[in-house]
């Protein structure tokens, strides 16, 4: 090779290098922007579409709809697909802001969505095989979270997506760059920071920082300490890996990394870091947010059913639109109701269990206290969820059904002393749970129909069935006021007298007659007023009144007062033989306290959308059921139950009224079914109507003695304790008041000739209170 050829080859190589440089430079200057333009506009549908500018201004997120009490307390964690409650930047606090900047994007306030310095650092790390961390800014991560750039529906994919993994990553990253720049143009830095914290997941069904702060530390975001903020900010590197509840050591190490970064960037003093780095993460307040925790669990579950329909009619998504739902529930009254039920039901259950043990019998008995053979196997087991699921899977005749029903397994079961971890078969667990007596409680404001407290059962986590609305049972003597109200409306004074004696009333069905007995099984022969007969639940006199006023008139009265269940016009309905709900009964009794105007009980007062615009306001449903005179007479008669009947405990045990009701007026009525399987009690005042039901999960589950299962024993203590609590709470402003007598009352209510009997007869010991 000649000497002239060597320089020629060198020049040729230099020319090629120059060409490559200019080609690369041209591609960088022209090609890359063209590529960005092509991705942005999805040229030829190669890359898949990007969110529109309108979507950027209003990005779609599943937001939690929140439920609030009338006194401003949030009920539970709300209704959600993702448990997400958005917060503003001002609600974050400095600790969260500084922790995120130090951990994820210290130049956040300087760049416009893309941090070139970080990108070059990452690129150099890839080239030199020495990665130096991620290059995504907070804004890029927000874009990914908001618009799911890496989870694309098949119909939305571009032609180049899904062909090659590297190409997919490039397209995804490019989209995030573009979206990050657009977000920076659409929002302030503060808004982006808040949006980021509102979109990220923290595990344990906590979406967004507000839910996370509540779940892990039971605090609002602004209340988080610097180390708590570092825990939550640090979780974004890997939620599961750094969850403090399941990986505490990993979480602690990651927290300390964030804290050290905060020291590095001047957000935290070295001395504070030295103290905090050795500190364990305190999760004493950790509570996974779900529908089994918090106040008014039964109410929230029942409300969701109506809210789904209401929101659908309004054109909103209950589980995704972030609505604010304002209820009539009062948090204080609700807490008192739950406390009253817990306190009373524990005592009642102890009594039931001890008698069951002494009597040595099975759970299921008939009206005479005799065991019902094979009831468990023939009725309880086949109706269970576990049995039905197995039959659906294997067939009714399959041996597998019995095998799995009898197979022991680990489970956590309810007890009044706290949940118990144990080993039981499905069959044994059914029997175990059946032994618990159930209950329902409701309190309303009669003048408005607003529901103030709702407790559907003894424990929502283990017993989901709501006994307020769906637990229809025979009301027993609670139905009698409807009979007497019909008589009063037809002109009978509560002072009208009847004799307590056997009756035989033709039913109109051939030779069949109706001859009810009294609960004591005997007739006293005593002449007594209608007022006293209702107070003492004398069946014979109620039957005589029913014979006079006729069943169809009583049915009409019950319907006007608010009973919606089907009530056939039979004579026997006078004693409460047809099933009704506590919800219906409270509405009916509230009519007496509301001067004869029935207002349908309600619990949703208004709803706002996520922007605070009102989209619904409840309009009370009112109807004039009876005139004011009849309503007052019924209140007067119900007072007699507290003075001389089965409601006297409100006076001598709970101190709610004095003997003559000279300091406070309370009307009341007990109800007990024939075999004592259902105990009821309702109390009526001007401000509150409160009622409770207590009974077994199935009708054959009850006390052997009728007297042990009567409403005065079982249901009254729940109502009594509740009223005690609300009267003692000065913040509620519920006063002890008198029923307002109509100025021109035309019906005689002051039965003076019986006053001596009522004031001299000591009946305070007619109910044994050994249970309490």
- Which is more confident, 539 or 175? 539
- Contact at 8 Å (CB) between 229 and 244? no
Phi, psi of 100 (to 5 degrees): -70, -40
Cβ-Cβ contacts under 8 Å for 692 (sequence gap 6 or more): 341, 439, 440, 441, 442, 582, 680, 681, 682, 715, 716, 718, 719
Which segment, 42-56, 206-220, 549-563, is predicted with the most confidence on average? 549-563
Q: What are the structure tokens assigned to 384, written together?
A: 């269970």
Phi, psi of 15 (to 5 degrees): -60, -40
The rounded mean pLDDT for the chain is 85
pLDDT digits (tens, 9 = 90+) for 222-249: 999 999 999 999 998 888 899 999 899 9
Kindly state the DSSP code that residue 107 receives in the 8-state scheme.
Answer: T
Q: List, in sequence order, every residue forming a beta bridge with 63; answer none if it has no partner.
A: 321
Task: Say if residue 136's pLDDT is above 90.
Answer: no
Q: What are the structure tokens assigned to 61, written together?
A: 């997120």
Q: List, in sequence order, every residue forming a beta bridge with 184; answer none if it has no partner.
A: none
In this prediction, residues 192-211 reach a mean pLDDT of 86
In this prediction, residues 699-704 reach a mean pLDDT of 93
Task: Say if residue 325's pLDDT is above 80.
Answer: yes
pLDDT digits (tens, 9 = 90+) for 582-609: 999 999 999 999 999 999 999 999 999 9
Q: How confident is the model at residue 126 (pLDDT cuts 50, 70, 90)?
A: very low
In the chain, % of residues over pLDDT 70: 82
Lowest mean pLDDT segment, chosen from 24-28, 191-195, 482-486: 24-28
Task: Say if residue 406's pLDDT is above 50.
Answer: yes
Q: How confident is the model at residue 285 (pLDDT cuts 50, 70, 90)?
A: confident
- Please report the pLDDT score of residue 756 as a whole number: 44
In this prediction, residues 419-423 reach a mean pLDDT of 94
pLDDT digits (tens, 9 = 90+) for 731-771: 998 989 999 999 989 888 888 744 444 444 444 333 333 32
Cβ-Cβ contacts under 8 Å for 687 (sequence gap 6 or more): 445, 446, 447, 734, 735, 737
Residue carrying the six token digits 């009333």: 505
- Please report the pLDDT score of residue 400 as a whole number: 94
* DSSP-H helix ranges across 500-581: 530-535, 539-549, 551-561
Measuring CA to CA, which residue among 651, 666, 592, 663 is closest to residue 626? 592
- Which is more confident, 24 or 122? 24
Give the C-alpha separation, 691 to 689, whole Å.
7
Kindly state the DSSP code that residue 572 receives in the 8-state scheme.
Answer: G
- Please report the pLDDT score of residue 200 as a whole number: 85
Question: For the CA atoms of the chain, what is the radius of gyration?
Answer: 36
Pairing label, strands 66-68, 324-327: parallel
How many CB atoms sit inside 10 A of residue 166's CB? 8
Q: How confident is the model at residue 148 (pLDDT cuts 50, 70, 90)?
A: low
Give 265-303 as a DSSP string: TTSS-HHHHHHHTTPPP--TT----STTSSS-HHHHHHH
Residue carrying the six token digits 């003894």: 458
- Contact at 8 Å (CB) between 231 and 216? yes
- Please report the pLDDT score of residue 565 as a whole number: 96
In the chain, % of residues over pLDDT 90: 62
Give the C-alpha separation, 449 to 302, whole Å.
17
In this prediction, residues 276-291 reach a mean pLDDT of 85
Q: How many helices (H) and strands (E) does the chain have?
A: 29, 17
- Please report the pLDDT score of residue 128 as a whole number: 41
Alpha-carbon separation of residue 308 from 77, 81, 100, 460, 471 (angstroms): 17, 13, 37, 20, 22
pLDDT digits (tens, 9 = 90+) for 12-63: 666 666 566 666 656 556 555 655 555 555 444 555 555 655 555 556 667 7
Give the C-alpha separation, 569 to 599, whole Å.
24
In this prediction, residues 102-112 reach a mean pLDDT of 83
In this prediction, residues 531-554 reach a mean pLDDT of 95
Task: Say if residue 168's pLDDT is above 70.
Answer: no
Give the C-alpha separation, 684 to 670, whole Å.
12
Q: How confident is the model at residue 125 (pLDDT cuts 50, 70, 90)?
A: very low
- CA 209, 215, 218 angle in degrees (round to 5)? 95
Give the C-alpha separation, 750 to 758, whole Å.
12
Element (H, E) at 358: helix 331-359
Give the C-alpha separation, 724 to 738, whole Å.
17
pLDDT digits (tens, 9 = 90+) for 454-470: 999 999 999 999 999 99
- Which is more confident, 46 or 640? 640
Phi, psi of 445 (to 5 degrees): -100, 105
Lowest mean pLDDT segment, chosen from 82-91, 619-628, 709-718, 739-748: 82-91
Task: Say if residue 715's pLDDT is above 70.
Answer: yes
Give the C-alpha separation, 592 to 636, whole Å.
10
Measuring CA to CA, which residue among 660, 662, 769, 758 is closest to residue 720? 769
Task: Say if residue 299's pLDDT is above 70.
Answer: yes
Q: How confident is the model at residue 187 (pLDDT cuts 50, 70, 90)?
A: confident
- Please report the pLDDT score of residue 572 as a whole number: 94
pLDDT digits (tens, 9 = 90+) for 506-519: 988 877 899 998 87
């Amino acid at each position: 090779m000649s000497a002239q050829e060597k320089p020629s080859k060198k020049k040729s190589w230099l020319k090629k290098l120059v060409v490559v440089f200019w080609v690369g430079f041209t591609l960088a200057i022209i090609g890359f922007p063209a590529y960005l333009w092509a991705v942005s506009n999805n040229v030829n549908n190669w890359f898949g579409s990007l969110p529109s500018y309108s979507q950027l201004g209003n990005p779609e997120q599943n937001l939690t709809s929140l439920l609030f009490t009338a006194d401003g307390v949030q009920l539970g964690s709300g209704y959600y697909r993702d448990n997400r409650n958005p917060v503003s930047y001002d609600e974050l606090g400095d600790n969260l802001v500084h922790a995120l900047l130090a951990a994820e994007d210290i130049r956040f306030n300087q760049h416009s969505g893309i941090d070139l310095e970080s990108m070059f650092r990452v690129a150099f790390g890839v080239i030199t095989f020495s990665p130096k961390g991620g290059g995504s800014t907070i804004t890029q991560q927000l874009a990914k979270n908001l618009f799911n750039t890496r989870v694309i529906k098949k119909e939305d994919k571009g032609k180049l997506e899904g062909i090659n993994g590297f190409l997919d990553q490039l397209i995804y990253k490019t989209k995030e760059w573009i979206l990050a720049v657009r977000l920076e143009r659409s929002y302030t830095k503060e808004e982006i920071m808040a949006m980021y914290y509102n979109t990220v997941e923290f595990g344990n069904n906590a979406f967004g920082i507000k839910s996370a702060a509540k779940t892990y530390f039971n605090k609002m975001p602004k209340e988080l300490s610097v180390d708590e903020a570092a825990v939550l900010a640090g979780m974004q590197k890997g939620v599961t890996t750094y969850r403090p509840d399941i990986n505490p050591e990993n979480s602690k190490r990651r927290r300390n990394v964030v804290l050290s970064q905060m020291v590095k960037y001047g957000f935290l003093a070295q001395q504070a870091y030295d103290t905090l780095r050795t500190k364990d993460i305190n999760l004493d307040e950790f509570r996974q947010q779900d529908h089994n925790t918090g106040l008014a669990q039964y109410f929230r579950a029942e409300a969701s059913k109506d809210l789904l329909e209401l929101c659908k009619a309004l054109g909103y998504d209950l589980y995704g639109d972030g609505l604010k739902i304002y209820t009539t529930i009062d948090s204080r009254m609700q807490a008192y109701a739950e406390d009253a039920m817990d306190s009373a039901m524990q005592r009642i259950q102890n009594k039931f269990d001890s008698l069951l043990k002494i009597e040595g019998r099975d759970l299921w008995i008939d009206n005479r206290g005799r065991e019902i053979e094979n009831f468990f196997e023939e009725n309880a087991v086949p109706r269970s969820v576990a049995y039905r699921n197995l039959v659906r899977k294997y067939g009714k005749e399959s041996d597998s059904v019995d095998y799995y029903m009898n197979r022991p397994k680990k489970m956590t079961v309810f007890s009044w002393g706290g949940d118990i971890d144990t080993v039981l078969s499905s069959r044994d667990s059914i029997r175990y749970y059946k032994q618990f007596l159930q209950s329902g409680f409701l309190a309303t404001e009669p003048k408005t129909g607003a529901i103030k407290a709702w407790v559907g059962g003894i424990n929502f986590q283990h017993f989901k069935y709501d006994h307020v609305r769906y637990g229809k049972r025979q009301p027993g003597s609670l139905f009698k006021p409807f009979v007497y109200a019909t008589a009063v409306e037809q002109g009978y004074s509560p002072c009208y007298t009847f004799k307590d004696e056997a009756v035989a009333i033709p039913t109109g069905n051939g030779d069949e007659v109706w001859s009810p007995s009294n609960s004591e099984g005997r007739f006293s022969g005593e002449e007594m007023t209608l007022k006293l007969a209702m107070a003492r639940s004398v069946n014979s006199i109620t039957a005589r009144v029913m014979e006079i006023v006729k069943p169809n008139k009583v049915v009409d009265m019950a319907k006007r007062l608010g009973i919606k269940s089907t009530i056939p016009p039979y004579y026997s309905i006078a004693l409460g033989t047809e099933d009704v709900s506590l919800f219906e009964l409270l509405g009916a009794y509230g009519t007496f306290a509301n001067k004869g105007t029935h207002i349908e009980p309600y619990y949703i007062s208004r709803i706002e959308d996520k922007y605070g615009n009102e989209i619904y306001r409840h309009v009370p449903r009112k109807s004039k059921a009876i005139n004011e005179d009849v309503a007052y007479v019924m209140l007067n008669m119900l007072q007699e139950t507290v003075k001389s009947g089965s409601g006297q405990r409100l006076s001598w045990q709970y101190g709610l009224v004095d003997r003559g009701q000279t300091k406070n007026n309370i009307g009341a009525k007990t109800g007990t079914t024939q075999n004592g399987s259902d105990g009821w009690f309702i109390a009526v005042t001007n401000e509150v109507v409160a009622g409770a039901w207590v009974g077994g999960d199935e009708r054959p589950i009850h006390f052997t003695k009728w007297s042990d299962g009567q409403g005065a024993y079982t249901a009254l203590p729940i109502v009594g304790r509740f009223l005690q609590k609300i009267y003692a709470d000065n913040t509620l402003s519920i006063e002890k008041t008198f029923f307002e007598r109509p100025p021109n009352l035309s019906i005689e209510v002051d039965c003076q000739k019986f006053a001596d009997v009522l004031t001299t007869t000591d009946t305070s010991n007619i109910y044994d209170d050994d249970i309490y």
